[in-house]
Amino acid sequence: MPPITGLNRSLLLSFPAPSAFMSIDQQIEDDLKVIPETKERIDGCLQFAWHVAYEPAHADTSEKDAQNRRKYLRALLSEFVSIEDSAKIDYRSLGHKPPNGIQSLPDPRLHAVRLLRHANVHLSASVLSRDIRPAMLNTPKGPEPFDFTLFTVDSIEASVRTTDAATRYLESDLKPMIEWLEAEQQEWGIQNVVVRATEVYARILLRGIGHA
């Protein structure tokens, strides 16, 4: 197969921090009602992302607990990629030509998340690590500091590079995508990377039918 080209590496920008709730932009959420199959997949992404990150009051901070979350990460990534198929159904029902799949889009962030899905579904599951970073929560009483727990994928470069899908990318694109993915997950966790990528993809799909 020919190499995947046309990526715009200037789009390898950092995503915003997560909100207090696992959510995407409210306007996008509202507009998704016109593409219900896609909305269902995106709702699934948010639910699985919540399971990846959820920390109860008396959280189990063991390594075993972190690894138990891998099944939710696999489900999250699979649901993300399934948006490609659901969008075709929705576009067809609205009388539109099928939308471009992720591999035809210029945003390399979407490609990076898709590659991580290949690594987790077709190869061994990623090993997750738990970390803590200070953050601020806006409350009615003003900003309050708290410890934000994030989960990151170990050896993310090795995981991505061993996929067959990775061989279709030029090294000049693949290397920056992997570096971005590694740096981005260190900010607010791997689940925020996938949720924000889902938001980007949803906006593109809505724009294709005259929304957003």
CA angle 114, 120, 123 (to 5 degrees): 115
99 occurs within a structural domain: yes
125 occurs within a structural domain: yes
Determine the average pLDDT of the residues in 166-170: 96
The token duo for 55 is 């920390």
Q: What are the tens digits of pLDDT across the range 30-70? A: 999 999 999 999 999 999 999 998 877 666 666 777 788 88
18 occurs within a structural domain: no
Tell me the range of 20-29, 129-138, 150-159, 182-191 where mean pLDDT is highest: 182-191
**C-beta neighbour count of 126 within 10 angstroms:** 23
pLDDT band per the 50, 70, 90 thresholds, residue 122 = low
137 occurs within a structural domain: yes
The number of domains in the chain is: 1
41 occurs within a structural domain: yes
127 occurs within a structural domain: yes
126 occurs within a structural domain: yes
pLDDT over 60 (residue 123):
no
Q: Give the phi and the psi of residue 145 in degrees, each rounded to 5.
A: -75, 150
- 133 in Cβ contact with 148 (< 8 Å): yes
113 occurs within a structural domain: yes
Give the single-character DSSP code of 5. Answer: -
